[in-house]
Structure 1
Amino acid sequence: MKIILSVLLIGIVLSMNGQEQKAEKVKVVTETKANDKKESELTIQENVTQFTKLTELEKYVIINKGTEYPFSGKYYKFEEEGTYVCKQCKVPLYKSSDKFDAHCGWPSFDDEIQGAVKKTIDTDGIRTEITCNNCGGHLGHVFYDEGFTDKNTRHCANSVSLDFIPKPGNKKGEQ
């Protein structure tokens, strides 16, 4: 009986230890259009239980790699200054200064915050999927050589995959 209780107690302690939240800070260097470099930190969460609770539409897009309808998203025509973060884990992904109107029906960015977005070739071998590098949440797709901006890159993101943090002092911004 003592052996069974000891094994049970060890199992409980080990499972509780596995629930401990782990976070890692990663230094990120961001270059502005004026070629100024700004260093900041991203906090990378390893415990998925700390993620934001998602609606059914958000789960469909972020977890199941779906797509919202074009021209329907909250951030398609949104023009405030600030930072776009992952809806699921709140890690910064894009700066508003990198957003542009590609007339495609989804928010478009020509750059991401360094290290925040992972690019993976789709199973069709044609498109490149973009996901949050922290939680793996589906953001959309990236396209190259379309000529919309000097960077020749378009991150086509689903609005439901994003949240917005207004620039401090920006009275019109929303969260």
Structure 2
Amino acid sequence: MASASPADHEQWRDKLTPEQFQVARLGGTERAFTGIYWDNKSKGTYRCVCCGSALFSSTTKYDSGSGWPSFWEGVNPEAITTVDDRSHGMVRTEIKCAKCDAHLGHVFNDGPNPTGLRYCVNSASLNFEPGQG
């Protein structure tokens, strides 16, 4: 995201709220238990706030107790990319939208079966589409 041009930033600033821009385009993080989807129990699909790509389904969402929407699997392995994140003195795996490179959050190996993964996602990186999920 650091390689984005000023024109790219302006395009995203015009489309996104300040919080969405900070999180999705600049790699920020919303505070735990403050995002609009952390406690959402409705059926549907979670899409990238920037490009609309389907990323997660309500059928794989679970309450991790972390304060962020958590999923044990994405809707399509090709929809999410991972990058080593060594910021803040930690080693983590960042997750991004494969289509537009939006920062989503991080994935951890402490999730439930069947994958053992916890995709910990910022609500500000998502739009929720009610439906089947």
Pick the TM interval, shorter chain: 0.7 to 0.9
* Match status 1:92 vs 2:47: no
Structure 1: give runs of 5+ residues left out of the alignment.
1-48, 171-175
Residue 150 of structure 1 and its aligned partner are, at CA, apart by 3.0
Asked if the contact 2:72/2:111 (under 8 Å) is kept, the reply is no
**Under a length normalisation based on structure 2, what TM-score does the superposition of the two structures give?**
0.83
Greater Cα shift, 116-125 or 129-138: 116-125
* Match status 1:163 vs 2:124: no
Q: Report the secondary structure of 2:21's partner residue.
A: helix
How many pairs were matched up?
A: 120
Higher relative contact order (CA 8 A, sep 6+): 2
Structure 2: give runs of 5+ residues left out of the alignment.
1-10
Alpha-carbon distance between aligned partners in 2 of 1:162 and 1:138, rounded to the nearest angstrom: 10
What percentage of aligned pairs have identical amino acids? 39
After TM superposition, the runs of 4+ consecutive aligned structure 1 residues lying more than 6 A away are none
Q: Which one-letter code corresponds to 2:63 in the other structure? A: D
1:1-175 equivalent positions in 2, closer than 5 A = 53-114=15-76, 115-124=78-87, 126-144=91-109, 146-167=110-131
Q: Report the secondary structure of 1:113's partner residue.
A: coil
The structure number with the bigger radius of gyration is 1
1:77-98 deviation per Cα after TM superposition (whole angstroms, max 9, x unaligned): 1011110000011110001101
